[in-house]
Structure 1
Amino acid sequence: MYLLFPGRHHLLTRYQKEYLLQLVKHGLSEVLDVFGNPLAVSKPPTAIIFAVTSANHNNTRRNPLPLYQRAMMIQDFSRELSLPSYVIPIDDIGLSPNFASYTIKKIEVETELKLSLTPENTIVLCSTPVANLYLSLGYRILPVEKNPGSKLSFHAKLPWEELEEIVSKAKEYKNNQKQSNLERESKCLDSDISFDHLEGLLQNLDPACIRLWKDYRLFEKVDMLFSDSLIGDDGDLTESRDYNTYVREMDNIAELKFEETKPFVKPGRIGDIGCAVGSWIKLVCQESNYTESDFYGVEIARHLYQLCEQIKENGEFSNPNIFFIRRNAVSGNVFPKMSMNTIHTSSLTHEIESYGGRSQLLAFLQNRYEELVYGGVWINRDVLGPEDKEKEVFVWMEENSSTNHGRSPKDFPNFKEYLDSLSTKERFFQFQRDFRKEEGYVLRTASISVDGIEYERMKLKDICEYISKKDYTDNWESEMHESFCFWSFREWKENLESIGFKISPNSNQYRNEWLVQNRYEGKVKLFSSQSENPNNGSELIPLDFPVTHMLMLAEK
């Protein structure tokens, strides 16, 4: 009789070991099933199958360990069980009512049809609601940590609860250490949580689990993942982004990014942080100047990282020395200090400011400085704000393109179609309601009529934020979190120079003329005035659309 034990298996507990040992020693006839009835199975257990779910995910709060580490721990854990054990990887397929049947089929495929699990030859061990999916297929369930019966109660902590308690105690320890250091007026704080600090919290974990987590410093890794305010539970900056659209947009401008940055890339060790699907690296490594260089693509978004690995496996990169790393470049250094000749980022720093805040952006700048060799360069291509971004301007917006006819979002199949039905001015007021509302931002405007024409008076940075985002209706929710105009070119230079960077004279700010011609002209007009309340059109002074992007070459 097979025992199927599905789960993510990032931690294994002493209770789980004891439970399995009892099944091996005393058999399956008297043990209580999920309903509280004796299982009444006379056949003894012959093997245990650990179905490791979310096997293709790692380096996130929800799934901190890669598959190979979980498999190592399970094999070590199983030595005392005195029966064969199998570790079968089960990819994540999201919330699906077919997950149990998918798992059974996956086990069959992964074992080349050697393990065919049926309700007649398999008992499932599961303490979570996932058990209901197996029940619906006719499998009998042993509840492990859960008390038998309909009540959701447990006589032992679930592994995830053990992990959360460890993280909570680690955070408490760090806060106490920080306070102690402040009291001693110390300027240094070791933020790592070492194994020694946690040893008293681990009495419920199996020795195999403790050995792996200690040897691979996994407590420190999990402490970092749970402390990171920038990244979500599944390791992404934002859960609202449509990555299919995002990848297409990144690929469409890959050639532009490459041509703009190519003259400044220095051979040697070259890193692309926020590499998306590796398009920039693919173009650079084709150049003869970089045949002896090593390339490192860094991506935190799980979906994009997986695409990078797939593209590499497909043989689409001309240089074999290309390595992809899934890591958060804000929490610390991605590369060893004083090791990189070139670091490239594109459309990344504004996301750090938007999702992580100013302190995280400043930490990111410092980390890049530390990673470069002397003479190395950080090539940062991104959006930026105008120099006089706090200046008040008068804005005319077109109103004739509306097809909305007073309908609300609920009258449309999706929010994109609602946004597309609005004129430029109508969409602005939707933008005003949505832009960074979760962050507490208030976009203030005042309407004013001049010679019978209505204008909106606001800060220049606010209208720049709107016109830069107004046409991205398919990713509206994600775009509403992102701030483009937080620093001007001068402010960027000042902050980089304060760290120690020297700004190359080849750095520049510019206006994307395609955007002006295709997105701005005829839709929006900008004016300034010497008067706060101009009485006629002659008092309004037309303004050009300001800069939109920068190429910043920060040298060490």
Structure 2
Amino acid sequence: MSFVLFPGRHHLLTRFQADYLHDLATRNDNATIVWAVTSANHENTRRNPVPYHRREAAIERLSCQTGLRSLVVPIFDTAPTDAFAEVTLKTIAVATGIELTPANTVLACSTPEVADLYRKLGLPVALVEADPSLRTIPERPWDVLLRLAAGDEEWRRLAHPATIDVYERYRLVETIRAVVNDPLVGDEGGLTATRDYRTYVEAFADAAERKWKAVRSHVQPGRIVDVGCGAGSLLELADREPALHESDLIGVEVARHLYQECVHKKAQGVFRNANVYFYRRNVLGGAIFPDRSIDTTLTFALTHEIWSYGKQRDSLLEFARRIFEHTAPGGVWINSDVCGPADPRQPVILRLTSDDGANPAEPRHDLQDKDTAEVREYVGGLSTRARLDQFAVDFAFPFTFEALDGDAVRIELAAAMDYLTRKDYTDNWLSETHEQFCGLSFAEWSDLLTEVGFTLDPVSGPLRNDWIVENRLAPVASLADLDGKPLDWPDTHLFVVARRPHNG
């Protein structure tokens, strides 16, 4: 035989592998070892914690130290397929010009399922750690790597010096431990005690397909985190993406009800990826992940809560800094949320319907003491105009308006939009009135992200949800300037793709 094909991820090389390959090559006329490094385009995940170029460096160093003649070929990840062996052989042929055949190649592989794929092509197989002729069963490389992650220094005796040298020079020991070990789970409760989580679970599920379609092309494989993941609906869709099956999918949720739903889904086998994790943490409580460790962060309908329950811009700035710090160079933060109009303090005339419900003489000041059902029934029975009066009482961010003739009021545009985008949430009225949707305009968002160090992808920008306009706003409300000239409805949402520079 002229070649020994040795496929695998090769994150860690062992002394046993070096001795076994040296013996196998010697018995086959000093055959060349072809290291087919699989998942070469993946790094920074539990399955693939070490980048390809560091794996290649360790292989080349081992080859020099042992006298093995080696070829190292990266095999990029593909969706699981029964043609894996054929794909690997074709990739090697393209990269090296060498055709590996049953006449010139022996396979070295200890994984039965993989070995069987090559046997079907006629290649003879040497079983490495699974070789039945061995008197003792050696530890496989992944088991040695897990020793390292667990802090067991026995890994140094089992690993080949080439791996130890590369790990130490490039500080990979710390990186591997950070990636493989789960972050600690906090014990914080939900942000509000008045929220009907059944309603939120249903809303998350209904919107997941639309959200995933909007972000999919911007998601970078690796460690993917959905902060404020709700019931895990978005990660379910990420889990179905063949291109992400080597990625770590991580959900972070503070609300106990939603976190428990995520854990239940995982226990029921909803997720096919073995590396799906859920953590109950309060994003306002401190850093969640190590610096430069996350490739993609997703946040949907979250940042307005950080603004509302924290210290407005100060808390949002601190959150953005934490996201920047945990983002790997070249990584991305994808944020979709509500936002305020471009000119939030513009005075406008807001005209509201008053014939679609009750119009009491005064708003109530005791709803905070009532149960959810009573609040829902009362607020739901108010007219659109009367509901504005009630909103002004319950809203946690005070504003003023001036009643004009008829059903019109003079009000700042941001306050008007905060009311109009919240007026129909009667199921969670006391929760929703504690959150401000129009705290920042898109321009103010851009300034904040630039201050932190992110650069904005050109796809980023404000947008208007026309479904909300057509179905929730226009039928019962209209906007005009102070001269009575009709105004277009302003921006209601933003979509941001913020990147950490490769040299940042």
State the TM-score, normalizing by the size of structure 1.
0.54
Residue 356 of structure 1 and its aligned partner are, at CA, apart by 1.1
Alignment-derived partner of residue 353 in structure 1: 307
Matches within 5 A, 1:98-247: 235-247=189-201
For the residue of structure 1 that corresponds to 2:434, the secondary structure is: coil
Counterpart among 474, 484, 489 of residue 545 in structure 1: 489
Provide the rounded CA distance (Å) in 1 between the counterparts of 2:381 and 2:459.
Answer: 43
Deviates more, 1:303-312 or 1:324-333: 324-333
What letter corresponds to residue 321 of structure 2 in structure 1? Q
Alignment-derived partner of residue 310 in structure 1: 264
Residue 333 of structure 1 and its aligned partner are, at CA, apart by 1.8
Alignment-derived partner of residue 499 in structure 2: 555
Counterpart among 377, 398, 408 of residue 442 in structure 1: 398
For residues 202-238 of structure 1, the C-alpha deviation after alignment (integer angstroms, 9 at most, x for no partner) is xxxxxxxxxxxxxxxxxxx99xx8xxxxxxx961111
Counterpart among 200, 205, 209 of residue 251 in structure 1: 205
What letter corresponds to residue 241 of structure 1 in structure 2? R
For structure 2, the residue ranges without an aligned partner over 5 or more in a row are 1-183
1:364 aligns with 2:308: no
For the residue of structure 1 that corresponds to 2:263, the secondary structure is: helix
Residue 360 of structure 1 and its aligned partner are, at CA, apart by 2.0
1:480 aligns with 2:445: no
For residues 344-378 of structure 1, the C-alpha deviation after alignment (integer angstroms, 9 at most, x for no partner) is 00011100110111322211100000011111000
Residue 475 of structure 1 and its aligned partner are, at CA, apart by 0.2
For the residue of structure 2 that corresponds to 1:543, the secondary structure is: coil
Alignment-derived partner of residue 100 in structure 2: none
Matches within 5 A, 1:393-412: 393-403=348-358
Provide the rounded CA distance (Å) in 1 between the counterparts of 2:239 and 2:228.
Answer: 17
Indicate how the Cα distance of structure 1 residues 550 and 405 shifts in structure 2: closer, same or farther if over 3 A, else same: closer
Residue 462 of structure 1 and its aligned partner are, at CA, apart by 0.3
Alignment-derived partner of residue 516 in structure 1: 469
State the TM-score, normalizing by the size of structure 2.
0.59
Counterpart among 216, 222, 232 of residue 278 in structure 1: 232
Provide the rounded CA distance (Å) in 1 between the counterparts of 2:198 and 2:398.
Answer: 31
Q: Is the 8 A contact 1:278 1:308 kept in 2?
A: yes
Q: Is the 8 A contact 2:363 2:393 kept in 1?
A: no
Q: Which has the higher contact order (CA 8 A, sep 6+)?
A: 2
1:466 aligns with 2:416: no
For the residue of structure 2 that corresponds to 1:292, the secondary structure is: coil
Alignment-derived partner of residue 336 in structure 1: 290
Q: How many residues align?
A: 311
1:423 aligns with 2:383: yes
What letter corresponds to residue 401 of structure 2 in structure 1? T
Alignment-derived partner of residue 452 in structure 2: 499
What letter corresponds to residue 380 of structure 2 in structure 1? D
For the residue of structure 1 that corresponds to 2:486, the secondary structure is: strand
For the residue of structure 1 that corresponds to 2:306, the secondary structure is: helix
Indicate how the Cα distance of structure 1 residues 337 and 234 shifts in structure 2: closer, same or farther if over 3 A, else same: closer
Alignment-derived partner of residue 532 in structure 1: none
For residues 519-555 of structure 1, the C-alpha deviation after alignment (integer angstroms, 9 at most, x for no partner) is 00121100003xxxxxxxxx31101111111111110
For residues 315-349 of structure 1, the C-alpha deviation after alignment (integer angstroms, 9 at most, x for no partner) is 00121210111112222221111111100000111
Provide the rounded CA distance (Å) in 1 between the counterparts of 2:445 and 2:242.
Answer: 33
Provide the rounded CA distance (Å) in 1 between the counterparts of 2:271 and 2:325.
Answer: 28
Provide the rounded CA distance (Å) in 1 between the counterparts of 2:222 and 2:362.
Answer: 58
Provide the rounded CA distance (Å) in 2 between the counterparts of 1:371 and 1:489.
Answer: 23
Matches within 5 A, 1:78-93: none
Q: Is the 8 A contact 2:188 2:254 kept in 1?
A: no
For the residue of structure 1 that corresponds to 2:437, the secondary structure is: coil
- Runs of 4+ in structure 1 displaced over 3 angstroms? 403-413
For residues 253-303 of structure 1, the C-alpha deviation after alignment (integer angstroms, 9 at most, x for no partner) is 111111111111011110110111111011012111111111111111111
CA RMSD of aligned residues (A): 2.2
Residue 458 of structure 1 and its aligned partner are, at CA, apart by 0.8
1:432 aligns with 2:392: yes
Provide the rounded CA distance (Å) in 2 between the counterparts of 1:396 and 1:547.
Answer: 19
For the residue of structure 2 that corresponds to 1:476, the secondary structure is: helix
Residue 405 of structure 1 and its aligned partner are, at CA, apart by 7.0
Provide the rounded CA distance (Å) in 2 between the counterparts of 1:414 and 1:264.
Answer: 44
For residues 48-103 of structure 1, the C-alpha deviation after alignment (integer angstroms, 9 at most, x for no partner) is xxxxxxxxxxxxxxxxxxxxxxxxxxxxxxxxxxxxxxxxxxxxxxxxxxxxxxxx
Alignment-derived partner of residue 132 in structure 1: none
Alignment-derived partner of residue 334 in structure 2: 379
Provide the rounded CA distance (Å) in 2 between the counterparts of 1:281 and 1:304.
Answer: 13
Q: Is the 8 A contact 2:336 2:496 kept in 1?
A: yes
What letter corresponds to residue 417 of structure 1 in structure 2? E
What percentage of residue pairs aligned between the two structures are identical?
41
Q: Is the 8 A contact 1:408 1:418 kept in 2?
A: no
What letter corresponds to residue 419 of structure 1 in structure 2? V
Provide the rounded CA distance (Å) in 2 between the counterparts of 1:408 and 1:328.
Answer: 35
Provide the rounded CA distance (Å) in 1 between the counterparts of 2:237 and 2:350.
Answer: 41
What letter corresponds to residue 472 of structure 1 in structure 2? Y
For the residue of structure 1 that corresponds to 2:308, the secondary structure is: helix
Provide the rounded CA distance (Å) in 2 between the counterparts of 1:423 and 1:331.
Answer: 40
Q: Is the 8 A contact 1:282 1:318 kept in 2?
A: no
Provide the rounded CA distance (Å) in 2 between the counterparts of 1:454 and 1:524.
Answer: 10
Provide the rounded CA distance (Å) in 2 between the counterparts of 1:434 and 1:420.
Answer: 15
Provide the rounded CA distance (Å) in 2 between the counterparts of 1:325 and 1:425.
Answer: 42
Q: Is the 8 A contact 1:345 1:379 kept in 2?
A: yes
What letter corresponds to residue 443 of structure 1 in structure 2? F
What letter corresponds to residue 272 of structure 2 in structure 1? S
